[in-house]
A = this chain, B = another copy of it.
Amino acid sequence: MKYKLRCITCGTIYDPDEVEYTCPKCGDRLGTLEVVYDYDEIKISREELSKDADMFQFEKLLPLEKNYYKVPLKVGGTPLYEFPNKAEKLGINRFFVKYDGVNPTASYKDRASAVAIAKAVEKGYDTIYAASTGNAASSLAGLTAPTHLKSVIFVPAKAPRPKIMQIKIFGAKLVPINADYDTVFDLSMKVGEKMGWYCRNSAINPYLLEGKKTGGMEIAVQMDFDVPDYVLVGVGDGTVISGIYKGFYDMYKVGLIDRIPKIVGVQAEGAAAVKAAFDAGEPFKPHDLKANTLADSIAVGKPRDVIKACKYVRTSGGFYVAVSDEEILNAGVELASDMGLFSEPAGSASYAGLKKLIREGRIEKDAKVVVVVTGNGLKDPSSYEKLFEIKSVEPDIDKIFEYLGKE
């Protein structure tokens, strides 16, 4: 095997055959596993990497066997957009948006699902399950659709309707539970274990993060390996942010880049459990809270990847910031109306965080900043509805001119 698994808390190293999900000694929460490569053995050059290839261009740095199963849809290779005018208005040197709303199922989570599916096939499972606030669910449902694998999806019954419809139409077995994400997660683990299905639950499955790291790696490639000073991303369970750090870390370790950006996590004020753990300092310990935010994809009170999310961000020199739901919605409107990028609230959190940090003078004027938009606004358009009054007009030319004058 080209990689090992290492416990984020006790540091024990396992062979991939020895353990399926988490460290037996430290348990599910503290014992999430890191994938560790023999970096000296991995030869990868800048020249072989392209700015719009899919995520499997990084296969030398993915925990996959030879002839691994590759989903037939294009995952990753999403655009990194630079907006010079916006940088000027914000008062920073350069401003970029990594837009993952154009993945196959319209969210960042496709990167993790693609790896989970490859592992399920390798390990000989026929069913794979996930608990999700919605995006990981529709992602797993969509990416398993063209495979022989079955998927079972556990979601809070109040997940946005478009995500529910995605899951159903992709043909997954859907279990909408009248409970919050944290409860749904725990229940799914019990069911999945009893049924012997492969688990695609955040943090539990160590390989998801390896898929999620490819977003970070793409940022480096798309910036011609001249990495940004800051990367900001919304945080729920903490796996996406950990993945982004790991992407830069792995590239650094194999000599593709010469430093790692400061990784900044942005949470909703009403669901800031990772920030609480981070701010309490080392040794990092979970701080579970009640989650209450309209940004459903990051409405997590009991974050599963909290240890990695704290350690990695600390190592990068980054930190956490919390923003209000109002700031999130306003950031979403600005991403759409100034940049043409429609983002679901959780995806807009990163930009809300940047605006807040700039207001507070916590980002240097010469900084190069990337914000990650993790999901398409079409995933949850109704969340923005309260900001807009939409009135119709009769099909009469005078009434239309009147309407135009009024608006």
Contacts and interface: CB of A to CB of B under 8 A. Distances in A.
A390 B162 contact: no
A145 B340 contact: yes
- How many residues of A sit at the interface, in one of the four size bands? 35 or more
Interface string A388-407: 10111111010011011001
B395 A170 contact: no
A152 B392 contact: no
Nearest to A72: B81
A373 to B, nearest CB: 12
A202 interface: no
Nearest to A191: B400
| Copies of this chain | 2
Given A104-B102, A106-B378, A378-B106, A338 B397 contact: no
B166 A377 contact: yes
A360 interface: no
A382 B191 contact: no
A176 interface: yes
B187 A400 contact: yes
Contacts of A401: 191
B171 A390 contact: no
A381 B191 contact: no
A49 interface: no
Contacts of A388: 165, 168-169
A265 interface: no
A353 interface: no
Nearest to A84: B72
Candidate in A168, A171, A178, A187 with the most chain B CB atoms within 10 angstroms: A168
A404 B341 CA distance: 38
B72 A169 contact: no
Contacts of A357: none
A73 B81 contact: yes
A23 interface: no
Nearest to A173: B407
A175 B400 contact: yes
A58 interface: no
A205 interface: no
A386 to B, nearest CB: 11
A118 to B, nearest CB: 15
Contacts of A79: 73-74
A31 to B, nearest CB: 23
Contacts of A177: 392-395, 400
A77 B79 CA distance: 11
B73 A337 contact: no
Given A79-B73, A162-B381, A381-B165, A342 B395 contact: no
5 cross-chain pairs, A with B, having the tightest CB-CB distances, nearest first: A171-B337, A157-B392, A378-B378, A179-B395, A145-B340
Interface of A: 52-53, 71-74, 77, 79, 81, 83, 102-106, 142-146, 152, 157, 161-162, 164-166, 168-171, 173-179, 183-184, 187, 190-191, 332-333, 336-342, 376-379, 381-382, 384-385, 387-388, 390-395, 397, 400-401, 403-404, 407
26 contacts: A52-B53, A74-B79, A83-B146, A102-B102, A142-B342, A145-B336, A146-B340, A161-B382, A162-B162, A162-B378, A162-B381, A165-B382, A165-B388, A166-B342, A166-B378, A166-B381, A168-B384, A169-B336, A169-B381, A175-B403, A176-B392, A177-B395, A178-B395, A187-B397, A191-B401, A378-B378
